[in-house]
Structure 1
Amino acid sequence: MSDAPSIVAVGAAAIDEWYAVSNLPEPDGGAFASEVTSAFGGVGANVAVALDGLDRDVGLVSRVGDDEYGRRAREYLAATGVDASRVRVGDDPSTRSLILSAPDGERAIVTTGDSFRELRLDPADREAIAAAAVVFLTGYTPDAVSRDVLDVVESTPDPPALVFDLSGPVEELVGRGTEPDTVRRLLHRADLFVAGDVAAAAYFGGEAAAVDRIAAAQRARVDAADGVRGAGDPADDWPRAVLTHGADGMTVVADGDVRRFDAFDVDVVDATGAGDAFVAGLIDRWVAGEGEGNAATAGNGPLADGVRFAAAVAAINCTERFAQGGLPTREEVERFIAARE
């Protein structure tokens, strides 16, 4: 498929109903919203729009409802360069999120609507994924779709690089997103595996356990690849994983080593979408390669430079409101980094 995007994101395109609250309420507590508004979001759309802003050729596979929320989501996408030809419209209520955003930029999110949960891949979706250089999956992707993407990747002679963001805690994903058994398959197959603190604690039991299991999965994959290539061949195709810790930085498990990196210090206005922006930056620098349609290995480019670039994308996005409000261009990221060297 010559017209297929070089990067395909599979994830929700949603409307975020955004409440600027005095505080994030404790159980049985309350808060006051000084402003109520809405904006475009959804993990899949956030990653796709961020990559589009970095001048990547990206398409989105998603599903919205035939309602006002779905119409607005499609209008937002149409104003970007993202290929939205694989965003279908169904009869279910559109997926949307209620976001409580506190003055310090921290937030709580409640999601509803069945439109994305009912997504299933059709033959054209599978062909686009097989033809892509990179495919991105979020943990909120329905389990049947995640398994379908894995099957496409594993059956394609020249498969796309696979990027998976665990996104949410296991108990939140059950019945809605990717199931634990499928997450395990993705852990062993993904070229880039990402998890935030909450998701890692829920699935692995904590950061130390996450590092151990991820490292074991990476070693098993490299050992298997060496067995296919033959003894003595270099293990030059290590997968990579990142555990994100918000303002406390990130832990990278890659190339047989574990390293900790700092986040950039900025005045946070809204942390919504920061993790998605970070993943988009990693895809750009570690996975997508130097040119459009060029499938690179995860080892492309220095490790630290890739983390620094992705962290800058996330930091800049946090300085504006909403999940996509501050997404930068490549030139803006480079200026931001240069000013801090």
Structure 2
Amino acid sequence: MVEVVTAGHVNWDVTLRVDALPEPDGEARIDSQRRSGGGSAANVAVALSGMDFDAGVVGSVGDDETGLLARRELRNAGVDCTHLLEVGDAETTTKYLIVDADGEVMVLGNEGANEAVAPGDIDSEYVADARHLHLTSQRPETAAALASAATEAGVSVSFDPGRRLEERDFGEALAYSDVVFLNDREAKTLLDDDLENPSSELHGRVVVIKHGAEGARVDTPDGSYHHPGFDAEAVDTTGAGDAFAAGFLAMLLRRGDPLGPEADYERALEFANACGALAAMEEGARTAPSFEDVEAFLDGQF
């Protein structure tokens, strides 16, 4: 049994640091190259594990060398991989992350095996035994099946649909979600009628909108809170949004029921912004600060 199940992409990342993102027909210098595990579901699971939560991941990798390496990294981070599907004769999804001197990221990737999990592959009991389910980008029908299983069992659900929101119909999964994470572009796609009152538009859900370097806001049925973020020298913004989501959930889960009367969304927003800042200050998508690391960072801000 795990406390938090994350579901979605498990990738292998190749990070290329360049002096500048090249213009069309241009060229850039590669300053360094790094290979490691990635994918939003995996990143959030690792971050939560680093904050002393028992985390497990539902996803898929190929039966190749990078799939073996991705699974090994997750296990070494303390993440339960019993529901990480290995797809025969398939390549693990590889993402090429091009990072410039300001920490901005451009992503290239192959289709790979990271969306092989279908509704029929889901173990509903694994989800039902958890305290919380966190969904990231994946097959819409799989996300919906996972969210339905969690809701039927009384397990809270959060969803960070990611950059493919515009091209996919996640309506059913969103209908089951209690907490929704969006960036500014995704918010304009999903909340085109009312950007001022997103919680009302999404029928009372907790809506967290990430503004990048400008911080973030959280809207609930009972109020709205904004945090300006922290001044941080960005080295690599890869995975900062995943660290943010992990921090927000960790603070809520640490206090008990993430939807209960004791939930402190304003505090969770501050903590999440600190996690995002710490992630952006380091290279790679896999940053897992402990509670003590984040608290020390926050203490240094005041």
Q: Normalised by the size of structure 2, how large is the TM-score?
A: 0.92
Identity of paired residues, percent? 28
Partner of 2:99: 101
2:288 alignment partner in structure 1 = 327
Q: 1:213 to 1:248 in 2, by over 3 A?
A: closer
Shift of 1:93: 1.4
Q: Which runs of 5+ in 2 are unaligned?
A: none
Moved more, 54-63 or 123-132: 123-132
Q: Kindly indicate whether residue 125 of structure 2 is the aligned counterpart of residue 127 of structure 1.
A: yes
Q: What residue in structure 1 maps to residue 245 of structure 2? A: 279
The answer for unaligned runs of 5 or more in structure 1 is: 220-238
CA distance in 1, matches of 2:235, 2:43: 17
SS at match of 1:260: strand
Residue number in structure 1 paired with 2:231: 265
- Note the C-alpha offset of 1:121: 4.3
Paired residue for 1:70, among 67, 72, 75?
Answer: 67
Alpha-carbon displacement from aligned partner over 1:94-132 (angstroms, at most 9, x marks no partner)? 112010001111101122133112212456621111221
Check conservation: 2:102, 2:235, Cα contact below 8 A: yes
| Paired AA for residue 37 in structure 1 | R
Tell me the equivalent position of 1:89: 86
Q: Displacement, 1:299?
A: 4.4
Partner of 2:270: 308
1:298/1:167 CA distance change after superposition, 3 Å = farther
Q: 1:200 corresponds to which residue?
A: 187
1:243 aligns with 2:206: no
Q: What residue number does 2:178 align with?
A: 191
The aligned length equals: 301
Equivalent position of 2:58 in the other structure: 61
Distance 2:264 2:257 in 1: 17
Q: What TM-score comes out, normalization by structure 1 length?
A: 0.82
Comparing 26-35 with 128-137, which one deviates more in the overlay?
26-35
Q: Secondary structure at the match of 1:116?
A: coil
Tell me how far apart the structure 2 counterparts of residues 260 and 29 of structure 1 sit (CA, whole Å).
Answer: 40
Q: 1:22-171 counterparts in 2 under 5 A?
A: 22-91=19-88, 92-122=90-120, 125-138=123-136, 140-154=137-151, 156=152, 158-171=153-166
Q: Is the 8 A contact 1:61 1:125 kept in 2?
A: no
Partners of 2:59 and 2:115 within 8 A in 1: no
Q: Which runs of 4+ in 1 moved over 6 A?
A: none
> In 2, Cα distance between the equivalents of 1:86 and 1:74?
11
Tell me the SS of whatever aligns to 1:200.
Answer: helix
Aligned-residue CA RMSD in angstroms? Answer: 2.0
Equivalents in 2 of 1:53, 1:115: separation in Å?
26
Q: Tell me how far 1:296 sits from its aligned partner.
A: 4.2
Structure of larger gyration radius: 1
C-alpha contact (below 8 Å) 1:215/1:256 kept by paired residues = no
Cα 1:244–1:329, aligned 2, differ >3 Å: closer, same or farther? same
Contact conserved, 1:107 with 1:272, CA < 8 A, in 2? yes
User: 1: distance between equivalents of 2:213 and 2:292?
Assistant: 23
The alpha carbon displacement at 1:75 in A equals 1.4
Partners of 2:178 and 2:206 within 8 A in 1 = yes
